[in-house]
Amino acid sequence: MKYALITGANRGIGYYLAREMALDGYGIVMVGRNKERLEHAKQKLKTYTPHIHTLVYDLGDPTAPESIYNDVKKLNLEIDIIANNAGFGSYGLFHTNDIKNELDMMQVNMTSLVHLTHLFSQDMVRRKRGKILNVASVAGFQSGPHMNVYFASKSFVVHFSEALAYELKPYGIKVTALCPGSTDTDFFSRAEVNRKSDLFRHKATPESVAIKGYKALKKGKSIAIPGLNNKFMIQIQRFVPRKAVTAILGIGMSKQPNKG
């Protein structure tokens, strides 16, 4: 049986990605930090497949990707899809933010994603088959004052995935960067961003984002941007000077009643 490994699968977009893949006949490997939350999600997913494994790891730990890969090998599972979904953001001026949290974010959003992709893509190349879904964001298309490192990390994911899609195409491997806009999940409470801000007013459901992302992966699209609004905003800003885009976002993002 073929398996899909999804990081951050216990809630939000990751849970629905796991559900879509289970509905499509995949066994599921769910990775997350919190054992109870993973177990709860596993119980819900059992409606769709009995083949579910949970791996408890903190992707902020640089040794986690290697351990995850070794666990999968011990379980003797063939991972046909890897969905690097786990990620988080932080709100605030860079110089006032907790640097440990910023570095942790870079580890989870970028380094662990690259490391897991490297480990699992070796097997995919050997098999000449596989799919890689990296969850980026519309934030990956411009710089983001007040969420500086988060935006930069997602920009990394967009560019890394786009180039990887090109490199791995001859090996029959599909790579997609899923770039959601504002989505109704716990993301905002962890990032301490107030969702009532104008910039975050239009919220998609995590379910619709996951469905669109998985469809795009199956079609082999290197970039998937769910929502016409989001597509339009990304296209239009190509015709606006970069400095102006940064300034507009800087003003919009500063209206955050949650923080001073």
Ligand X SMILES: NC(=O)c1ccc[n+]([C@@H]2O[C@H](COP(=O)([O-])OP(=O)(O)OC[C@H]3O[C@@H](n4cnc5c(N)ncnc54)[C@H](OP(=O)(O)O)[C@@H]3O)[C@@H](O)[C@H]2O)c1
Handedness of CA 134, 221, 42, 12 (dihedral sign): positive
Name which position in 54, 155, 176, 182 contacts ligand X (CB under 6 A). 182
Name which position in 54, 90, 117, 137 contacts ligand X (CB under 6 A). 137
Q: Which residues contact 254 (CB under 8 A, 6 or more apart)?
A: 145, 146
Contact letters for ligand X, residues 15-54 (x by CB under 6 A): -----------------xxx--x-----------------
Contacting ligand X within 231-260 (CB under 6 A): none
Handedness of CA 162, 166, 167, 172 (dihedral sign): positive
- Among 206, 41, 236, smallest CA distance to 135 is for 206
Q: Is 217 in the site for ligand X (CB under 6 A)?
A: no
Looking at the DSSP assignment, which residues form a beta bridge with residue 78?
Answer: 2
Q: Is 13 in the site for ligand X (CB under 6 A)?
A: yes
In this structure, are residues 12 and 37 in contact, taking their beta carbons and an 8 Å threshold? no
> Closer to ligand X at the Cβ: 124 or 178?
178
Name which position in 5, 11, 230, 253 contacts ligand X (CB under 6 A). 11
Q: Is 186 in the site for ligand X (CB under 6 A)?
A: yes
Q: Is 58 in the site for ligand X (CB under 6 A)?
A: yes
150 is catalytic: yes
In the chain, what is the straight-line distance between the N-terminal and C-terminal CA atoms, in Å? 52
Catalytic residue among 150, 166, 171, 214: 150
248 by Cβ neighbours in 10 Å (0-12 / 13-18 / 19+) ranks as middle
Which stretch in 115-123, 141-149, 177-185, 243-251 sits in contact with ligand X by CB under 6 A? 177-185
Q: Is 214 in the site for ligand X (CB under 6 A)?
A: no
Q: Is 130 in the site for ligand X (CB under 6 A)?
A: no
Alpha carbon 42 to chain centroid, angstroms: 19
Which stretch in 7-15, 73-81, 166-174, 222-230 sits in contact with ligand X by CB under 6 A? 7-15
CB of 134 to ligand X, least distance (A): 9
> Closer to ligand X at the Cβ: 113 or 165?
113
Amino acid identity of 198? D
Name the residue with tokens 């992966």: 217
Name which position in 35, 190, 202, 255 contacts ligand X (CB under 6 A). 190
Residue 227's alpha-carbon distances to 202, 204, 209, 234, in angstroms, are 10, 8, 9, 11
Q: Is 87 in the site for ligand X (CB under 6 A)?
A: yes
Give the residue ranges of DSSP H helices in the chain. 12-23, 35-45, 64-75, 99-106, 112-127, 148-168, 187-191, 206-219, 228-236, 242-254
Judged by the rule CB under 6 A, the positions of this chain that interact with ligand X are 7-8, 10-14, 32-34, 37, 58-60, 85-88, 108, 135, 137, 180, 182-183, 185-187, 190, 206
Active-site residue list: 150
